[in-house]
Amino acid sequence: MADKKVALVTGANKGIGFEIARQLCGHGFAVVLAARDERKANEAADKLRAEGFDAHGVRLDVTDPATAAAAAKWLDGKFGRLDVLVNNAGISSEFGHDMKPSEVSLDTVRKTYDTNVFGVLTVVQALLPLLRKSPSARIVNQSSTLGSLGTLSDPASPFYGVNLLAYNSSKTALNGLTLAFAKELAADRIAVNSVCPGWVKTDMGGEGAPRTVEQGAAIAVKLATMADPPTGKFLDDAGEVRW
Ligand code: NAP
């Protein structure tokens, strides 16, 4: 059984996920950087090991349950438990394409849900036996204010007009998943929360985004490391986000 706390971050080869992994290393965790491309997972972990951190790469394509099961088996053999799971991997093929809900293809919606919703369910179910071995485990789901129905239905919100059917509704569904697991896993003392990183300069967020990856990673890292975390909440840097 590992002495240090152990965290796994999905989609950790770049963007906000890589920065979350780096910051968790800084908090003294052994961090597993999961990526769908094994080479990218190992290269990302190598970068953090070169900074003196306890980082490890593992292949995990969240749309492929076999890779989630294999990652769980590997984690069990290496660490014997998991303390923090950050479900960060996510996609959107609508950004910058002005896709209208009436025009977006079913294939686009399905692919988005496969990663952003069913992918999270796959990873949580595969890793739950290891999370249950931790005395105070946490699951942090990387959501978005664009998944907030309270925000999207508010004409005064700056996000009111960002009408991306697949992405937005996938994050709404992810928030539903957060609440459902938070209720079930309270008995296991596993905190489950959704977070929004803000609009962050990454391959997904684009060059025009105002926030850095350091800023974007902060809320997930806070939920992963704070004593007595809340559960069943949707949070950003400023506090609670409307569901
Ligand atoms: P990014 O730079 O595009 O990184 C996305 C990560 O997810 C990459 O590592 C990517 O891997 C991985 N990924 C995609 N599909 C995957 C799969 N099937 N299995 C495993 N990994 C997969 O995006 P980001 O901006 O860092 O976004 C990270 C998370 O924050 C996402 O969930 C996103 O929805 C959320 N978010 C971002 C913003 C923003 O402004 N950037 C705002 C709100 C929420 P590959 O390199 O292999 O593609």
Predicted pLDDT at 1: 62
* 27-36 pLDDT per residue, tens: 999 999 999 9
Q: Which residues are catalytic?
A: 167
- Is ligand 1 within 6 A of the CB of residue 89? yes
| Cβ of residue 209 lying under 6 Å from some atom of ligand 1 | yes
3-class SS of residue 151: helix
Is the domain covering 6-240 a CATH 3.30.210.10 domain? no
**Average confidence (pLDDT) per 10 residues, the chain, 243 residues:** 90 99 98 98 98 98 98 98 98 83 95 98 98 98 98 98 97 98 97 98 96 98 98 98 98
Closest listed residue to residue 54, CA positions, set 79, 23, 76, 32: 32
3-class SS shares of the chain: helix, strand, coil, % to 5: 45, 15, 40
Domain ranges of the chain: 6-240
Q: Closest Cα partner for 8 from 59, 46, 51, 50?
A: 59
> Positive or negative CA dihedral for 119, 123, 124, 126?
positive
Model-level pTM?
0.98
What pLDDT does residue 138 have? 98
Helices (H) and strands (E) in the chain, counts: 8, 8
Does the C-beta of 91 come closer than 6 Å to ligand 1?
yes
Q: What pLDDT sits at residue 9?
A: 99
| 164: DSSP letter | -
